[in-house]
Amino acid sequence: MEEINASIGFDQKLFAQDILGSKAHARMLAAKGIISKKDASAILKGLDEIEVEIRAGKFKFSRALEDIHMNVESRLKDLIGPAAGRLHTARSRNDQVAVDFRLYVREAAGDLELALAGLQKALAQQALKHAATIMPGFTHLQTAQPITFGHHLLAYVEMVSRDRGRFRDAIARMNESPLGAAALAGTPYPIDRDMTAKELGFAAPMRNSLDAVSDRDFALEVLAASTICATHLSRLAEEMVLWMTAQFGFVKLSDKFTTGSSIMPQKRNPDAAELVRAKPGRILGAFTALTVVMKGLPLTYSKDMQEDKEPVFDAISSLSLAIAAMEGMVSDLTADEARMRAAASRGFATATDLADWLVTQLGLAFREAHHVTGTLVALAEKKGTDLEGLSLAEMQKVHTGITKDIFKAITVEASVAARKSLGGTAPANVKRQAQRWLKLLS
C-alpha cells in the first residue's frame, strides 16, 4: 500500500508552490481572525525555514508521509509545535494539491512561452540573413517552385507564434484559484478566497468548489499545446536531418550539435535534431496518459488524479529541452547557398513561371498555358536539360508566340522576385517580415 500510495518521489517538485499556497492561506486565516496572528507568524517563519532546508538539500523526505503536503506539515510541527496544526484549518489536501499543481503548470507554461520567443528570434535572425538565399520549395518532397531560405524559416516563426498564443491562452484560462474549495463542498469558516487568489497571482477564485478540486483541464490544455509545439519542432528537426545529408547538403551544424561515429570518422550525425524529432512521442504520450486518467472519473477527487503529475513534469521537461536544442541548432547552422541555388534550378522548378508568362504575355488561358508548359518540360526531360537549356527555336516549335523574353522569366531569381503578394517569397517581402518579427521580439 505504501509503495502504490506514496507520491513524494515525484510531487516534491511542488515544494515551492506548496509553501507559497500555505503562506497565502495562513495570512488569510489570520486576517479573518480564524487563527491568531502569533500562530500565523510562527507558521510563516517555519515555512521559510522549510523552504531553505529543501533548497539546500537538507530536508529529509519520508515515504511514510505520502506526499509533499504531509512532509511539509510534519516538519512544520517539528519546528513550531502545535501551532502547525492550525494551518490546515478551512482547507483540504484536495484544494491544496489543486492550487499547487495549477501554480506549477501556470509557471511552466509561462517559461515555455518565453523560451519559444528565443527560438523565434533565432529563426528571424537567420531569415533576415537569408532573405535572398534561393532554395527549392517542395510539395510531396518533390521540387515545386523556387523559394528563399529566409521565407522557409519564417514559416516556423509563424508556427511558433501560434504555439506561444496557445500557451498564453491556457494561462489565461487556468488563472483562477481553487484554494478555499476545501475537500469538495467549501468550508463553514469565514474565509476570504479573493485575498488568497490575489496573493497567489490569480485573477479570481474558481466559482464552483466541486470543479475546483476535480479539474485538470489546465494540465490537459498545456499538454495539448505542448504536443502541437513539439510537432512543429519535430518537422523542423526532420528538415535539418534531410538538409544535412550528402544528398541535400543544404546546411551544416557544428560539433556543438552533432556527434561522430564510433567507426566511421567522416560522419557528422545530427543527433540533437533526431532527438528533437523524437520528443513528440513522449509529449503526446503524456497528453494521452492524462486524458485516459481523467476520462471516466466521477466528481470530485479520486486518487487516480495522483497520476496527473509525472506525465506533466516529463512533458514540460522534454519540451523545454527540445526548444533550447532547436534554438541552439538554428543559431548554429550554416547554409550552403550555392548548393541550395543549384538544387532550386533542377526539377523544372520554374515551370509555373513559364506558364504564368504565357498567360500574361501571350494571353493564353491558364489551362492551355499549362499544356504548353508540360510539353516543353517533356522536351527538356528528353534532352536531359532544364527549361533554360532549351533553345528559342525549340520552344517556338511548341508555341510560335514565345519570344526570347521568356528566358528572363524562368530564372530562379526572377521566379522568387515575382512572388510579391502578401506572404510571398520575394526577398523584399522576406526582409520586411523578418525585420518586423525582430522588432516585435525585441
Residue 111 neighbours by CB under 8 Å, 6+ apart: 320
Which helix (H) or strand (E) element contains residue 433? Answer: helix 427-441
Amino acid in position 83: A
Which helix (H) or strand (E) element contains residue 401? Answer: none
Q: How far apart are CA 385 and CA 377, in angstroms?
A: 9
Considering 36, 74, 254, 261, which one is annotated as catalytic? Answer: 261
Q: Which of 102, 98, 87 is nearest to 47 (CA)?
A: 87
Look up residue 250 and give its DSSP letter. Answer: -
Cα-based distances in Å from 254 to 73, 189, 237, 268, 331: 51, 63, 15, 9, 11
Q: How far apart are CA 283 and CA 364, in angstroms?
A: 52
Q: Can you tell me whether residue 118 is helix, strand or coil?
A: helix
Q: Residue 207 has which C-alpha cell?
A: 466559482
- 137 beta partners: 145
Q: Which of 292, 153, 317 is nearest to 230 (CA)?
A: 317
Positive or negative, the Cα torsion across 94, 97, 103, 105? negative
Q: Which residues of 349-384 are buried (b: 16+ CB within 10 A; e: fewer)?
A: bbbbbbbbbbbeebebeeeebbbbbeebbebbeeee
**Residue 56's CB: how many other CB atoms inside 10 A?**
8
CA 171 remoteness from chain centre:
14
Q: Which residues of 157-184 are buried (b: 16+ CB within 10 A; e: fewer)?
A: bebbeebbebbeebbeebbbbbbbbbeb
Q: Residue 221 has which C-alpha cell?
A: 490544455
Q: How far apart are CA 348 and CA 380, in angstroms?
A: 9
Q: Is 261 a catalytic residue?
A: yes
Considering 140, 391, 421, 442, which one is annotated as catalytic? Answer: 140
Written as one string, the DSSP assignment of 62-81 is: -GGG-SHHHHHHHHHHHHHG
Q: Is 140 a catalytic residue?
A: yes
Q: Can you tell me whether residue 206 is helix, strand or coil?
A: coil
Q: Residue 380 has which C-alpha cell?
A: 527538356
- Residues catalogued as catalytic: 140, 261
